[in-house]
Structure 1
Amino acid sequence: MRCLRIVGLTSNGANSGQSTRYAIDLPGLAAGEVHTWLLAIDADADSTLLSAEERRRADEIRDDRHRQRFCSAHSAIRRLLAGYTGIAPADITFDYSRHGKPRLARSQTFLAIQFSVSHTHDRLLIGLSANGEVGIDIEFLRDDIDYLAIARRHFSASELRAILNRPKAMQAAAFFRCWTGKEAITKVRGQGLRCDLSKFRTLDDDASLRARVVAGTDTPHALRGCYRLHAVDTEPGYCASIAMLEATHGTAYPLRQFIGSAISV
């Protein structure tokens, strides 16, 4: 995983009538390629970069930590998209899918960049794709939950078996690998955790990541299909997965992973 320091130029603001081009040293996002960025939650996230709607949503969050994560995540994705597109962070606008998943407005760039954001504890994980929808999830490896009870309720029989067949010391890691895979898949189409997670599996008996969402009475039609899952490198104490529809890339899945040591304007 490569580390980069991301430093950019300031924007004159979305409503100023002037827009500063944004140029920072980021790797190019080639067609069919996927990038992941692991970032620390920014306690001083610049809310001035956010849109009026984003600021309104932030103001409605009563919990200070959750509000901080919201502002940090939205500021970070604006800065990253600015680096990939050359559009100033505050000038970026979004379209939304019918399920509410945000995406970069196609009117702003010739790149159909798709992205997914996840945060946990004090870390942000952002996945970006130049061609095809992407879903990502990161979880802090908590030791205060009954993961087997959760697995029995939400995982398939084969996934539960894959966890129980592993040594006791490795079962929690297998649980989080399975959980992040499932959540990443639901976020590809912006479904979230509305569907029955036991209707599809992400963990085989050998604990390898694999997924095929098949028709089921409780499975949304938009979620069905074959997905390509990949474990994302993280710092100790975290687990993360990224998912894309397999048809997007065929058998190839170019994935480049980065840690941002700083994102500032």
Structure 2
Amino acid sequence: MTEAHRALRPAEFTVTEGRLDLWLIRRPEGPDAGGLDTSELDPVERHRADSFIRPADGLLYAAAHVALRRLLGRYTDTPPQDVRFVREPCPGCGGAHGRPAVAPRSLHFSLSHSAGLALVGVAAVPVGVDVEKLPRQETVEVCGRALHPGERDELADVQGAERTARFGRIWTRKEAFLKGIGTGLSRPSTEDYLGADARRHPQGWTLVDIPCDATHSAAAAVKGPAPATATVRSLPEHWLGAAPVLAS
């Protein structure tokens, strides 16, 4: 048994009502980048990883999907390469391009990655997660026009670093919610309020801000009441190497 197995106990891979598991994955750097084991990815995932213009983005994509397969493998007692992904029906048209799911479905999950950091959320109920690198001030000016009027009012109250941080909180909550309901950005970003007043958030959903680092903002959206436990863990980099992570 490797150190990675001892660090991550079986109890950490249990899906129960009222529990939200959040896993942070950092892009491998230096020697760890060369040790990334992509053998469990399917051909589509490997092609996608190779298609990024910036190699660093492709490396993050590959690491995120290796992590996703290995995490879901532990939760479902399935070899990572055998984890099968499907799409739920689109809530708008019913087509097979809604939220990603595992088959057979025994849990709900969501994946996001941005600028060196990835995030996986796992729960017993529908969940969406989003992580974003904090934008530059000029980006806030442009993208702020796509916010709900109430969110724009809150953004207008502050300047500088606090404005950037507030935009990051709002935007990651918004994308997490849109992932959770399965529409993505096909639903107008101006339609739903995800600002500071939780009483005005979409009914039937709970938004959770996720601590990550000084350069990113992250959030999760969970269907139903607030989870009794929401645990954030960082996945050890060596857990993405060639070690047999499913070994007992």
TM-score calculated relative to the size of structure 1? 0.75
Q: Which residue of structure 1 aligns with residue 193 of structure 2?
A: 201
C-alpha displacement of 1:252: 4.6
Does the C-alpha gap of structure 1 residues 134 and 186 become closer, same or farther in structure 2, counting only changes over 3 Å?
same
Does the C-alpha gap of structure 1 residues 61 and 171 become closer, same or farther in structure 2, counting only changes over 3 Å?
closer
Q: Which residue of structure 2 aligns with residue 96 of structure 1?
A: 87
- Deviant stretches of 4+, over 6 Å: none
**C-alpha separation between the residues in 2 aligned to 1:195 and 1:179?**
14
The 8 Å contact of residues 210 and 228 in structure 1, kept in 2 or not, is answered as no
Matched to 1:258, the amino acid is: R
* Deviations 1:185-234, CA, capped at 9 Å, x for gaps: 1111332222211111100xxx3456544xxxxxxxxxxx5321010111
* Deviations 1:74-122, CA, capped at 9 Å, x for gaps: 101011112222222112222222225321211xxxx721111111111
**C-alpha separation between the residues in 2 aligned to 1:195 and 1:242?**
18
Q: Which residue of structure 2 aligns with residue 139 of structure 1?
A: 132
**C-alpha separation between the residues in 2 aligned to 1:119 and 1:172?**
19
**C-alpha separation between the residues in 1 aligned to 2:97 and 2:198?**
26
**C-alpha separation between the residues in 2 aligned to 1:35 and 1:96?**
21
Q: Which residue of structure 2 aligns with residue 41 of structure 1?
A: 27
**C-alpha separation between the residues in 1 aligned to 2:72 and 2:25?**
14
Identity %: 26
Does the C-alpha gap of structure 1 residues 160 and 144 become closer, same or farther in structure 2, counting only changes over 3 Å?
closer
Matched to 2:99, the amino acid is: K
Alignment of 1:1-265 (within 5 A): 6-7=4-5, 25=10, 27=12, 28-42=14-28, 43-44=33-34, 45-97=36-88, 98-106=96-104, 112-129=106-123, 131-143=124-136, 145-151=138-144, 153-166=145-158, 168-203=160-195, 207-209=196-198, 212-213=201-202, 226-246=204-224, 250=225, 252-262=227-237, 263-264=239-240, 265=243
Matched to 2:97, the amino acid is: H
Matched to 2:107, the amino acid is: I
The 8 Å contact of residues 20 and 227 in structure 2, kept in 1 or not, is answered as no
**C-alpha separation between the residues in 2 aligned to 1:81 and 1:159?**
35
| Matched residue SS, 2:234 | strand
TM-score calculated relative to the size of structure 2? 0.80
* Deviations 1:57-80, CA, capped at 9 Å, x for gaps: 334444423322221111010111
The count of residues paired between Structure 1 and Structure 2 equals 224
Q: CA RMSD in A?
A: 2.5
**C-alpha separation between the residues in 2 aligned to 1:253 and 1:77?**
23
Matched to 1:36, the amino acid is: L
The 8 Å contact of residues 99 and 189 in structure 1, kept in 2 or not, is answered as no
C-alpha displacement of 1:170: 1.3
C-alpha displacement of 1:167: 5.3
**C-alpha separation between the residues in 2 aligned to 1:209 and 1:177?**
13
**C-alpha separation between the residues in 2 aligned to 1:116 and 1:59?**
22
List alignment gaps of at least 5 residues for structure 1: 9-22, 214-224
Segment of structure 1 superposing worse, 32-41 or 86-95: 86-95
**C-alpha separation between the residues in 2 aligned to 1:79 and 1:37?**
12
| Matched residue SS, 2:97 | coil
Q: Which residue of structure 2 aligns with residue 216 of structure 1?
A: none
